[in-house]
Amino acid sequence: MSHPKIILASRSPARRALMKELGVPFECHASDYPEDMTLKKPAHELAIHLALGKAEYIAEKFPDSIIIGADTFIVANGEKIGKPESTEDAKRIIRLMSDNIIQVISGIVTVQTDNKGAIKGGLLGHATTHLKIMNLTEKDIKFLAEQENALQISGAFSIEGEGGKFVEKIEGDYNNVIGLPIFQLREMLEKLGVKLPS
């Protein structure tokens, strides 16, 4: 192999699809690292902390590898918001986002393991994208909150799904909103010696 095995520490189909765009072989292995949104950290530091935790959680299983960890959540009215706990919580979150500018923040890390699975180095980064959400009716809110995947995504809101219809404006990396700032990841992998197709 020309580079170490690449592992994406995620079960997200959206992240898997974005990774395929890089054109290098990789494997997906879900990390069960707990996403504790209550930690008292600034939003971008929390995103990096959670992404690093996901990568570290599975590192020892994958010697001589590059492990990619990512975590994405939203910030609305100063509240850091992850996955909803229930449909009612999803409605509360969507109401908070309605007629508002929200931040979508992702932490992205790449860690390298040695031949025993110990971490020997890596790179950390984050991305922020701003979304202007339309003024939503209660019917809109109910519709979004009851989508099949609403409880599996941060903010109960999928821009590539029905949620995208309610976004008035986007500033920043669209891929970050999906859950993986792919341009930053490309740069990180190249710094670690991975040859990517141009």
Q: How far apart are CA 159 and CA 126, in angstroms?
A: 19
Amino acid sitting at position 84: P
Which residue of the set 32, 36, 64, 71 is catalytic?
A: 71
Active site residue 64: no
Report the C-alpha gap between 43 and 91 in whole angstroms.
22
H or E stretch covering 189: helix 182-191
Report which of 136, 127, 126, 128 is spatially closest to residue 157, judged by C-alpha positions.
136
Rounded Cα distance between 89 and 195, Å, is: 43
Q: Show which residues are catalytic.
A: 71
